[in-house]
Structures are given as C-alpha cells and as structure tokens.
Amino acid sequence: MAISILHNFASLNLGGAESRTMDVYRAIDREQFHFDFVVYEDSEQHYEKEIRSLGGSVYRIPSPRQNIVRHILALSSLIKRNKYDAIHSHTSYHSGLVSFIGWVHKVPIRIAHARTSGSMSTTGLAGNLNRRVGQALINRFASKRLAISVASGDFVFGEFSDYQVLPNAFDLSRYDISFSKQEARARLGLPENRIIIGQVGRLTKVKNQQFSIRLLKNLQKIHPDAMLILVGEGPDRKSLEDLVRFNDLENSIIFVGIQANIPEWMLTFDVLLMPSIYEGLGVVVLEAQAAGTPVVASTGVPQFADIGLSIASFLSLGDQDHHWLTAIEQLINLERPNWQEINRAFSDRSFTLDVAVEELSKIYRGE
C-alpha cells in the first residue's frame, strides 16, 4: 500500500512552493507515495486539475484567518478520516498548528517546511506572538524540520533550532530549450531588438514591482527602447497599473499574468530583475540561471541562490538606482553559459530534482 501524504498549502496557484512540490509529485514513484492536498481557498486553483490527473485529491477547509476554530476542526476531521502516514506543511510558522493537530491524531511523520525568510504578518505585538507560538509548536510537535535555505530555517524555526536544508529543486530538463532568445521572442510575439527586463512573481508588496517600474523609467534615460515584462498576478495589480499610467509607461510595461511556460519567458529576457524585500531562497533566480539569463537581485534574496555561473549580481535595496542600472548594463550583453555549463553547475550544488525526490522519499518512509 502506498504511503499517504497530506500537503498543507494556503493555495495551489503558481507560487514557488506549489510549483516545486508539483515537480516532486510528477517525478516521485506514485505507486509508493500518494499525495493529497489541503488548501484554504474557495475557488478552483491552478494545479487542481493536474493533481487529480495524477491520482491525488484536493480538500478545501476554512482559512485560519477567517475562523481558527472551524479551521482546526476541519483539518482534524480530514486527518482523522484519511489516516495519513505523513503531513507535509508549507505554511511558515502556521505549520506548528498543523504539526500539533497531526500529533494529536498520531500521524507518525509531521514535516514543517520553511520556505520564506520574512513575513508581512509578523510585525507588531500580535504578529510576533503568533510567530513565537508557531515556532514553539513546530519545535515541539514536528518530527522533521526542512528549510530551503539557512535564512528561511532561522526565520521560521528560530536560529537555534535543528533543521535540514533541502533547497528547492525543479525539473531542470524543462530549460534544455533548442531555440534561441530571438526565436522565443517571436513565439511570444515580443519585439526582437528591444531590451527586455523581466520580473516573475506574485504582484505583492514583498516582490517590490514598484521598484522595478521606477528603475525602468530611469533605464529609459539610457536605453529609450527598454521595456519591462511583469509575469504573475496578485492583489497589487491595479495599483501597479495605476503607477504605470502615472509614469506614462503604458507602451513599455506589459502585464502578462500567470504563465505556465516560464522557461520560454525566461529565455526572452535580457535580464531578470528580482528586487524582493525578502525571499526564502529565490527560486526564480535559479530558474533564470537555468535558462542562462543574467539576474540582478536584491540582497533580500539569499546569495545561496547564485549557482556559480557568474551571471548573477546582488545589490541592496538601499543602493542608489545608478548602481542597479550599472549592474543591468554590465549583464545585458554578457555571453550566456551553454547548457552543459548550466547542467554541471546545478549538479555540483545538488539543485536537481532527483536529489530532492530521493531525500523526500526517505523522509516519507521515516528513514
């Protein structure tokens, strides 16, 4: 009988944690391991159809922010009813509550997975209290603590906690693309000769698209034809569109929404920009390097994400814009690494999907 694992997510859209878990799900031996997912969103999520096609189920329960009592009762009922062998929670310090509920129902393997190095909801007295309580519950009731980086592990679990760093790995083979940047642009209907800066991520304050918009306006003083493509959706879209109109950049900034073919979009960019306020690892930085695309990122992204191809630059958000523009200028015409160099760099760092699948399989088996 297959080992049954319940993955705990807030949603199942095209976020980094969700996408990386789906990479694992596609690659893992599904005769040995069965995945179910619990989410807190009422609407249909991006990955639901694929999850069902792979044999898994998706369950919806109330969000803890809406009603904590109903949330606890619903999650308890689901775990009790399905008798899971493992619970794998990806919801930051909330994973402490999930681990506690799993412990109450005698789930033998209770995994708390740290995937962020910051949170907008941990400020103030109430936020800090929630975080401290979550950390205490994780350290008492999780049987395994995983982190995608040291920064994320220290933030979610506490810097004196024991945890295993298991970097987010993805299907690198998707980036072994036979066509060129120019061909990718033609396929996506993008101009061949304009400088294209790209940013991929949820349209939220933490991803800092406002910074990218301001930077593009300054970049156009040097390169009038430069443009910015924003890949992703989120609650800040309207305010960002208003900011674009205010700066008369409607012809230079394109919102393309959620895209499934990220490798192809990465290939079209001259530079990927990632000015995040914080990141657990910054998988988008890894994805850009997998496509051979140069990256200019904030120091809110752990430099652990630099795969060693000499195409990534990290700057402080406190640095003046001209430092960021200089970094972009230096990388625009940089010769891109070939596929063999990229593959070797990822393998040397164990940022490969087979390593992640092997390690998670051992954890799910309780080894």
Cα torsion 75, 7, 144, 92: sign: negative
Can you read off the two tokens belonging to residue 65?
């922010």
Residue 287: its pLDDT value, please?
93
* CB neighbour list of residue 30: distance below 8 Å, 6 or more residues apart: 2, 54, 55
For the chain, percent of residues with pLDDT exceeding 70: 98
Q: Is the overall model pTM greater than 0.85, yes or no?
A: no
Range list for CATH 3.40.50.2000 in the chain:
3-169+352-364, 172-348
Radius of gyration over every alpha carbon of the chain, rounded to an integer in angstroms? 21
Task: Report pLDDT for 122.
Answer: 53
Task: Determine the Cα–Cα distance for residues 347 and 88; give it in Å rounded to an integer.
Answer: 26
- Read off the pLDDT of residues 80-115 as tens digits, 9 standing for 90 and up: 999 999 999 999 989 999 999 999 999 999 999 998
| Fold designation for 3-169+352-364 | Rossmann fold (3.40.50)
- The predicted pLDDT at position 131 comes to 82
pLDDT of residue 306: 93
pLDDT at 42: 87
Length, in residues, of the chain: 367
With tokens 């493992």, the residue in question is 86
d(CA 75, CA 276): 32
Q: What is the DSSP letter of 120?
A: T
pLDDT of 351 reads 82
Lookup: tokens for 345: 């760099």
Q: In what order do the strands lie in the sheet with 144-147?
A: 58-60, 33-39, 3-8, 86-89, 109-114, 144-147, 164-165
Q: Which residues of the chain have pLDDT under 70?
A: 119-127
Per residue in 260-305, pLDDT tens? 899 999 999 999 999 999 887 788 999 999 999 999 999 999 888 8
Measure the CA dihedral 103/106/108/109, to 10°.
-40
Q: ∠ CA 275-280-281 to the nearest 5 degrees?
A: 75
CATH class of this structure's domain 172-348: alpha beta
